[in-house]
Every structure is written in C-alpha cells, then in structure tokens.
Structure 1
Amino acid sequence: MGQPLNILTIGIVGCGNIIAQYLSTLPSLDTLRLVAVADLDVARAQAVAADLPGVRALSVAELMDDDEVQLVLNLTIPAAHAQVALAAIAAGKHVYGEKPLAATAEEAATVLAAAAAAGVTVGCAPDTVLGTGTQTARRAIDDGLIGRPISATATMMCPGHERWHPNPDFYYVPGGGPLLDMGPYYVSSLVTLLGPVKSVIGAASHTRDERTIGSGPRAGEVIPVSTDTHVSGVLIHESGALSTVIMSFDAVATQAANIEIHGETGSLIVPDPNRFDGEVQLRRLGDSEWETLPVSAGYVDGSRGIGLHDLASTAPGAEPRAGGALAYHALEVMESVLKSAHTGQLVAIASTCERPAAVPLIRLAGAEILAGSA
C-alpha cells in the first residue's frame, strides 16, 4: 500500500441493511474518510448521501473511476462480491468487503491474484475478531492459561434470518446457508485462536424446501430453499487441535456457549464472535468455578469498520489482520466442509494462512495503545 496513509478515502458500493453499522463507525475513525456511495438502486445511494455532508452519490462505474476513492468498501450481496472487488482492483483501488470474500473459493482466488498483480490490498470482514472478546481469549491462550489447546466447539443455532430480513432470498441459495453466512465469524475466530486448518469432515441437511418472509413489504411471501440449512463439521487444525462446528437455520435456540476452547490445563468460554466484546471465562484444572478474565487485548468499543482502520494502519507490505489471506482460508474451509458433507470423505485444505497478529489493548479514540505491544 506504499507509505502508511494518514487518511484512507473510502467509497462504498452497496447501500443495503449492513451499511448503517459501518456508517455509525466510520466518522469516529481518524484514519478513514467516506467520500462516495453507490448502489444499483440510485435512489437508495442518494438517500444515504443526503444524510452525509460531503459524501457524493455516484453510479458504481463512476465510483470506480473516481480518483478520490482509494479503497472500495464492498457491501453488496455475496454473489456480487468478486465482480465488484475485481472492478475495484482493475481501477487500482484497495478493497475491503463484507464476508464471505466471494461466493466461491475459486472466485476468491481470482480476487487475491488480481490484487497481488495490481499491488493493492484486500481486507475482508468479519472484523469482530479484532474486538476485546476474541482478542482477550487469544491473549489467554498465548499466555498459557489453558496449556496446550486440544479442542474447540463452535455453535450457532437459530430458526433462520427470514424472520427479520426483508429480502432474505440470498440466505437460501448456494453461496448462502448458515455456514457461509454465519460461519465466517466462527471459522475466522477459530483460526485466530488456534491457527490454520489442514483438513475437514462435514455433514449437512436441510429441513424445509420453503421459507416465509416475516417482515418488510414482502412479509408473507414464500421463497424456495436450495441450500443446506444445518451443517456440522470437524476442523483439524495444523496444530493438531480439533474444532467441532455446528451452524443451523433449522433449530429454535441453544444454551451452548458460542465458542469453547479446551486445553490440557484449562477451558475458555469465548463470547459470541458476531460481537466485538463480551466476557471471557476461564476454568483452570482443579478449580470448581469459572472466573471472568479482565479485558486484556483488542480494540475497545469496537464496531463494524475497525477492520478498515486496522488495514489503514498496517505497515507497508504486511497482511492486515482482517485480510484476504484469512478470508480466503476461512472460505475454503467452509466450502470444504460442504464438499465433505456431500461426498462423505475427509477433504484436505489446500490453502493456509498466518495466524493473524494479536491485537494489543487499543482504545479507538486516537488509536491509543493501553496495554500489550503492537
């Protein structure tokens, strides 16, 4: 990315539901400045820009051609992630996208290859792994509080997003489903905590062929289901640790911890990886109760968009913590779990990635480092 950028100028493509979360964060980050928004629905982009002084509503093509835009924040639906990312890269712009990196690992590999050839940087959500929840758990593991990690469990159970999302169609077609929608939070967290994955075993099913939209102008409309809606997998990490993952749009609820990490001398309860914060609990070998660990690492009061700040703050030539390599590896892992589910065979993971660097305890206001080291 050349010299570190004092201010990285951002253009957003895609003005759907998720944009509100980014718009609540970007103004507080002094490394970033939003200058333009675009959407296939021009009126929607204009409505967003109208509430943001100095931000222009452009067509997608105009945004890609705009010299003021240094990085494209890609908030389109998963099926369009690769197309938009490649257009931005072709225009010489950095890219940060919502998860997953692309609809398929093959498309994601094309994005990373194009970025490498163009000399631009790729980042990708989820950046929740940079918050105090996951990072405090990471610090506990790195400090040896549970000994050598042996296993993990990751559980996400809900009855489906059509209950609240006004346009949930993309959740129920190939490229959607609970694993590719929610799995990035869990798999990215597991790789951050335990390192990359070398092989997987999976099983999957889907309970209903139709779903009924529960909110918005399409409430009551029935949509078809053509992808797996309950997925189980075992991830075999390069370290030897085993992670069991269950992702479901078919269940009602669960009391299981979102993520648990078990080691030779202790166990950790890790908060919801779809959040930035939350309590980390530790139970040491021989203890009869859990203890809550003090917050010791991660971006304090983080919210969606800190991955962009982290990217802008990354040293030249270094991979962002929420970077393309991690996003690609997580996508291949998830895709391979589904492949295994349909073949009944263990699937080797071709890619790997560095375990992302730990985040010291950082308060976003002024990026003040409170504890630890960069």
Structure 2
Amino acid sequence: MSGGPVGVAVVGAGVISGQYLRHLGAFPDVRVLGVADLEPARAAEVAEEHGVPVSGTVETVLAIPEVEIVVNLTIPAAHASVALRALRAGKHVYGEKPLALDLGEAAQVLAEADRLGLRVGNAPDTFLGAGIQSTIHAVRSGLIGVPVAVTAATQGLGPESWHPSPEFLYQRGAGPLFDLGPYYLTTLVALLGPAARVAAGARRARPERVVGSGPKAGTVFPVEVPTHVNALIDFPGTAMAATTFSFDSPVNRRMIEVIGTEGALSLPDPNTFEGPLLARGPRDFDWRELPLAGTTAGRGIGVLDLARSLRAGTPHRASGALALHVLELMTTIEESAERGEFRPVASTCPIPEPLPPDWNPHESTLT
C-alpha cells in the first residue's frame, strides 16, 4: 500500500460511529471500506447509511486486503482484545479512549504493535482541533511567557439525568476521571509534556444513583467508582496543574486556565475542536479573544493524521505512547487517592508536534 488513500474499517457500530463515519467519509485521504459489529444487522444498517461497501463481523472486515487501519470503537472492556486481533491480522489500529482497561493490557497492545512493525493511535483527537492547537502555538510563541500554573475542571451532576443507560459510566474504567479525564489530561500533556508525579483525593458522594430518563427511568443502580476527584499534577520543568473531575457538582464547568510569567490563557472546552481561546496580559482588565488557526472537522482527524503519517513515514500525533501515558496518569491519580500520598508516574511519551496551521483534512496530500 505505497500510495493513494488509506483503507479504513470501523469495528463497533454504536452511537459514536456515526460521527467517525461522517467525518472520515469526507476526507479524501482515507476510504472507509467496512463496518463490523457484534450485531451484523446493525453493522449493515450503519454501513448503508454512510455508503460503506462491506459490513459484517470483525473477521469480515479484517479479511479486506485494502484495509490498513482498523478504527476500534468497541466498549472499553473490548479495546485491548480487538486491537490485538487487528494487529495480528496485519492492520494498524486507532482506538477510542481508553487504550485499555489497565496498564498491563495497554502495554501488551503496544508491545505487539512494535513486534509486528505496526502503529497504534488512540483518542481523544480533540487536542488536534483548532482550539487546542492554537493554544499550543500561542504558548510556544511566548505569548504568556513560561507556564507556571494550570487550573482545570470538568464538573456537573453526572450523566444519569439524561443518559438512558448510564450504569457503565459508574463502573470500573469510567467515572468522571476515566470518562472525561482523557480530554483534559491529553491536552495538558500535549501542551506541557509528560507528567512526573501526582497527589490526589477522591470521594464517592452516594453509593447508588437513579436513571433519570428513558425506559429505565427510576431504576436504582450501584456506583462503583469515585465521583469526585481532585488531583495535583507535576509537569517537571514547567507548570503544576490543579485538576477537578466531578459528577457531584451542581455547577457545570468545563475549563482550563494556564497562567504564565507574562499572562494567562483561558482554553476552550478540550472535549471540542473549536474555541473560544482567550488571553489576558498583566495590564489587561479583561480577556481578549484570539484568532484560531486549524481544523474544526471533528472526531476522526486523529485517524486521518495517522493515515497521512503512514504514507509520509513520519510520527503520528495521537499516538499509543501518548494514550499509555494518559492511562497511567489516570491510574496513578486513582492510586494516589487511595494511598493518600504523592505517587510517581513512570512512563513518558514524546510531545506531539503541533499541526501546521494550514493543515486541511479536506484537501488531499496523497498521490
């Protein structure tokens, strides 16, 4: 597969697959060739809706010779096993968050990819959107001097009021830290580099919650994970970050603020691809909005960057190493909260190179 568009197959035809398929179908540098699901009828329905030629089981799409990348949109418990199947079939893998449920599984996926000479990419790719990429360019330009402190928070009352089946979001591998944390922590690592240690505390406000909508409204279900987590994260040589991840707050917040020696930035919600990005200098009385440069195309640009990088022989940005570091960061926060002490983060990862400001997903770069 030396040139031309990169063949892609999607495994997992759930709700999020619609966003991926809509965006990937609009990128000329990839071709979506197959959709697989545990329920072949659902795979067929989704494939027909998005004009994908092949649907069926995982085996069906892995057997398509032109498929080079498998986009793994299965549930978190299946991420590692599906990734390993795809790798052993000779395919590169791009998965939804998290990379795996635990560090052992995640390390196995990366080791197998390395053994086979294949690549692993992983969500979130929101940090490749115009909002966060413009932030990275602003910090690297020296706009706010040297970053010294970060405040980040994602807070709300939890998804059970609107989600018809929220139980899995309160089980192992989820909760506010593992469900929403990847967007914030990936952004911070892309901006500041890998973390070295954390200190954290966590609480579970209630042992049970109640489904608030849909056919299961009124159903009581158990809460297995902390629902409010505070963590202090040390990024060596640069800022300390004070972070909050909560399903217990009546105040909705989605924010990251970076304070530097010469000013401050207020970032857009890192679970989006857009703005606004605000700046404030030491003599400013209010925030001013900065212009954005980059793409707002949405979920799937990480797959596209992987595809283009394969053809160019360059590193891709939403990498397996980045996803592994973020996963270890979350598990170390969890461990620190349980032990009540600073805990080291052993892994590291390359800081992703920013996208060029004129990077355009809708103009082909491949021949």
TM-score, normalised to structure 2's length? 0.94
Partner-residue secondary structure (3-state), 1:70: strand
For residues 74 and 212 of structure 2, what CA distance do their matches in structure 1 show? 22
- Counterpart mapping for 1:58-73 below 5 A: 58-73=56-71
| Other-structure match for 1:360 | 356
Partner-residue secondary structure (3-state), 1:351: coil
Q: Is the 8 A contact 1:77 1:170 kept in 2?
A: no
Number of equivalenced pairs: 363
Q: Is the 8 A contact 1:10 1:71 kept in 2?
A: yes
Q: Which amino acid in 2 is paired with 1:64? A: L
1:302 alignment partner, one of 263, 287, 297: 297
Q: Is the 8 A contact 2:152 2:244 kept in 1?
A: yes
Partner-residue secondary structure (3-state), 1:269: strand
| Other-structure match for 1:326 | 322
Partner-residue secondary structure (3-state), 2:85: helix
Tell me the alpha carbon deviations over residues 24-81 of structure 1, each in whole angstroms, 9 at most, x when there is no partner: 2111101111111111122221221232334222112322333232211111111111
For residues 166 and 254 of structure 1, what CA distance do their matches in structure 2 show? 20
| Other-structure match for 2:86 | 88
| Other-structure match for 2:276 | 279
| Other-structure match for 2:230 | 232
CA distance 1:358–1:323, change in 2 (3 Å): same
| Other-structure match for 1:290 | 287
Partner-residue secondary structure (3-state), 1:179: helix
| Other-structure match for 1:311 | 306
For residues 52 and 135 of structure 1, what CA distance do their matches in structure 2 show? 29
* Percent sequence identity over aligned pairs: 44
2:168 alignment partner, one of 167, 170, 179: 170
1:103 alignment partner, one of 101, 105, 113: 101
CA distance 1:220–1:64, change in 2 (3 Å): farther
- Counterpart mapping for 1:10-49 below 5 A: 10-49=8-47
Tell me the alpha carbon deviations over residues 193-215 of structure 1, each in whole angstroms, 9 at most, x when there is no partner: 11110111111111122222233
CA distance 1:188–1:28, change in 2 (3 Å): same
Q: CA deviation at 1:302?
A: 2.1
For residues 48 and 214 of structure 1, what CA distance do their matches in structure 2 show? 28
Partner-residue secondary structure (3-state), 2:67: coil
| Other-structure match for 2:262 | 265
- 2:342 is aligned with 1:346: yes
Tell me the alpha carbon deviations over residues 83-127 of structure 1, each in whole angstroms, 9 at most, x when there is no partner: 111111111111001111111122111111111111111111111
Q: Is the 8 A contact 1:170 1:176 kept in 2?
A: yes
| Other-structure match for 1:194 | 192
- 2:141 is aligned with 1:143: yes
| Other-structure match for 1:6 | 4
Q: Is the 8 A contact 1:280 1:293 kept in 2?
A: yes
Q: Is the 8 A contact 2:195 2:329 kept in 1?
A: yes
For residues 27 and 8 of structure 2, what CA distance do their matches in structure 1 show? 12
Q: Which amino acid in 2 is paired with 1:290? A: W
| Other-structure match for 1:123 | 121
| Other-structure match for 1:77 | 75
Q: Which amino acid in 1 is paired with 2:265? A: L
| Other-structure match for 2:209 | 211
Q: Which amino acid in 2 is paired with 1:18? A: I
For residues 64 and 311 of structure 1, what CA distance do their matches in structure 2 show? 18
Q: Is the 8 A contact 1:145 1:266 kept in 2?
A: yes
- 2:154 is aligned with 1:159: no
| Other-structure match for 1:132 | 130
CA distance 1:218–1:56, change in 2 (3 Å): farther
Tell me the alpha carbon deviations over residues 194-253 of structure 1, each in whole angstroms, 9 at most, x when there is no partner: 111011111111112222223333333322111111111011012231011101111122
For residues 154 and 236 of structure 1, what CA distance do their matches in structure 2 show? 13
Q: Which deviates the most, 133-142 or 23-32?
A: 23-32
Cα RMSD (Å): 1.7
Q: Is the 8 A contact 2:71 2:93 kept in 1?
A: yes
Q: Is the 8 A contact 2:113 2:119 kept in 1?
A: yes
Partner-residue secondary structure (3-state), 2:273: coil
Structure 2 gap segments, 5+ residues each: none
